[in-house]
Chain A
């Protein structure tokens, strides 16, 4: 009979406290994952932007070729 008895107040409070801790840990983990992904995305963008810029400055751009930096582009593209 005692096994089926409802949880006492201290037990309930303890369970709620544990659930709250678990929720907070999960939330912190999700925030951490979001921050890592955002940082990687920004770092990737900066790295690619710099690479393409340097490639263009060196006159080795696949679309502009050696004309990069000297005159208007002969052709252009996107992506």
Chain B
């Protein structure tokens, strides 16, 4: 048992990275879900709560994402360089999935933190920009399913399925609604 504990100790950074990655995925799913419910008809009057929850979930996602990446630097087996984990197409390890993770890993904080610069960006432009967060979130899901060590585990698939189903439905509804709205505006014009 001591031997097991010592051997597992060698993998502590890897375990931490896996756990943080899953937490980041669950938190980002919740953040996207809450973000999509903002402004919906049936939740009027809860704007402050929804905005505070969305912001807290988004910031917690970024913290988990940072831990997911930083912990990998301590993994003695993978021992990645800074470029391996920050630049697309550099790592030789599962290049496609890793690149997808890196792209979404950059997009999520850039698009998320742009909220605090929306005064400079312009609210309308920022709103259009912020919609791409959903794409970064989808890329993160694909990255986790393609490269995640636990992607084949039932508990992982169940947790991720439960977490991503509501925002996916909301996103589909929003996309269909947005498309109809645009078509109606185009007809009216």
Contacts and interface: CB of A to CB of B under 8 A. Distances in A.
Interface of A: 26, 29-30, 33-34, 36-38, 41, 44-45, 48-49, 51-53, 56-57, 61-64, 68-73, 76-79
Secondary structure class of chain A's binding surface, majority of residues? helix
Contacts of A45: 19-20, 23, 64, 67
B148 A37 contact: no
Given A48-B23, A63-B149, A72 B77 contact: yes
Interface residues of B, number: 47
12 contacts: A26-B48, A29-B48, A38-B60, A41-B27, A45-B67, A49-B16, A57-B5, A69-B3, A78-B78, A79-B101, A79-B147, A79-B148
A30 B15 contact: no
Given A26-B48, A44-B26, A62-B149, A78 B60 contact: no
Contacts of A51: 155
